[in-house]
Amino acid sequence: MLTLRQIEVIRAIMVTGTIAGAAKLLGVAAPGVSRLMKYTEDSLRVRLFNRSHGRYVPTPEARHIFGLLDTVYRQVEDLQFAVQRLEKGDGLELSVGSVPSIANVMVPRAIAKLRQQYPELYVDINILKIEEAIDYLLVGRGEVVAISSYLEHSIIHFEPLAIGRLLCIVPQNSELAAKDAIAPADIVRHTLIGIDPNDPYGRVMTEIFRRQNLAYDMKIKARFGTTVCALVAADLGIAIIDEFTVAAGRVPGIKCLEIEADTTFPTYIAFRRDVPLSIFSERFIDTLRAEMNRAKR
């Protein structure tokens, strides 16, 4: 049985007609090529070349073999080319979904790192509500969803992603901006802006009030955290926001205050149990998890 290396050496001698030429073509020493050629002929018990004035001429008996070897070699080249494309993500696509809070800053950072490794990879990012995540995965629109709520499902697996926490954001020009921290009991004394408490993401934001039996009045509701930040910056009230939404750093017009309570909450990556993840999805998950942990204040 010939090895790929033996096939490569035989073909190099065929192409160049000399041991020295084959060695140069392969980028190796000539004695090594000569020894491997002798070993190959001894193993096959067939003379593949006639030596004449330093030239290697295929024997009549071996010409048919050489045709097959050339076909195999070209197939190996095709395989190597396909592997190289795979290594770059060339011609392939990764489709991922994310809830807005994680998609705002964390997903772009993860995709930027991923494309450093796979520069030719196509990426399709879908911004989803929590209740849309299951259908997105079941109908095969994407492989994974970054999500801030756990849902029981027989087919969808929820794997822990990162632990986040909540912050209170206030207008930068308000009296509250002089503080570094604020208690939940003080937060409810101000005009509140936020996500609808009946929304799964909104329940995460308002859980600190329920735990302390604090009554609150949500004067202004908005669907996305970035919109909430803009409303606070417009001096329309204050809000509870997750740290990942404001992880880009200083958001114009607002200041982030620590909340004097346990405000941690889990996030998850969701995917189908019955479908294996691509290498790109696995790398995306690892990169997203690292970015979210790095962004924690």
Q: Which range among 11-20, 145-154, 164-173, 221-230 shows the weakest confidence by mean pLDDT?
A: 11-20
d(CA 220, CA 215): 16
d(CA 7, CA 3): 6
Q: What is the CATH number of the domain that holds 156?
A: 3.40.190.10
Find the helix or strand (DSSP H, E) in which 94 lies: strand 93-98
Check whether residue 130 and residue 147 sit in a common domain: yes
pLDDT for 26: 85
Please say whether the beta carbons of 25 and 63 come within 8 A. no
pLDDT digits (tens, 9 = 90+) for 87-104: 554 557 899 999 988 998
pLDDT for 80: 63
The answer to whether residue 286 scores a pLDDT higher than 70 is yes
Q: Give the pLDDT band (50/70/90) at residue 72.
A: confident
- Among the candidates 56, 88, 120, a domain finishes at 88
**267: buried, middle or exposed (CB in 10 Å: 19+, 13-18, 0-12)?**
buried
Q: How many residues would you count in the chain? A: 297
The per-residue pLDDT of the chain, averaged, comes to 86
**Percent of the chain topping pLDDT 90:** 44
pTM for this predicted structure: 0.69
Whose tokens are 């921290």? That residue is 181
Check whether residue 273 and residue 239 sit in a common domain: no
For 102, 126, 130, 138, 142, the CA distances from 135, given in Å and listed in that order, are 19, 13, 10, 5, 10
Check whether residue 246 and residue 168 sit in a common domain: yes
**147: buried, middle or exposed (CB in 10 Å: 19+, 13-18, 0-12)?**
buried
Check whether residue 261 and residue 197 sit in a common domain: yes
Check whether residue 189 and residue 43 sit in a common domain: no
- Chain-centroid distance of CA 145 in Å reads 11
Check whether residue 143 and residue 278 sit in a common domain: yes
Check whether residue 180 and residue 155 sit in a common domain: no
Residue 97 in tokens: 């979904």
pLDDT digits (tens, 9 = 90+) for 235-273: 999 999 999 999 877 788 999 999 999 999 999 999 999
- Chain-centroid distance of CA 48 in Å reads 50
Range of the domain at 153: 93-161+266-295
d(CA 210, CA 156): 29
Check whether residue 118 and residue 134 sit in a common domain: yes
- Among the candidates 88, 122, 145, a domain finishes at 88
Q: Which range among 52-66, 176-190, 216-230 shows the weakest confidence by mean pLDDT?
A: 52-66
Check whether residue 270 and residue 157 sit in a common domain: yes
Check whether residue 239 and residue 285 sit in a common domain: no
pLDDT digits (tens, 9 = 90+) for 190-236: 999 988 887 777 888 888 898 899 998 889 998 888 899 999 999 99
pLDDT for 195: 84
Q: What is the CATH number of the domain that holds 188?
A: 3.40.190.290
- Among the candidates 69, 88, 107, a domain finishes at 88
The answer to whether residue 113 scores a pLDDT higher than 80 is yes
- In terms of DSSP bridges, do strands 181-182 and 254-259 run parallel, antiparallel, or are they unpaired? parallel
Check whether residue 243 and residue 113 sit in a common domain: no
d(CA 77, CA 295): 43
Give how many domains the chain has, as a whole number: 3
- Chain-centroid distance of CA 293 in Å reads 15
Check whether residue 192 and residue 222 sit in a common domain: yes
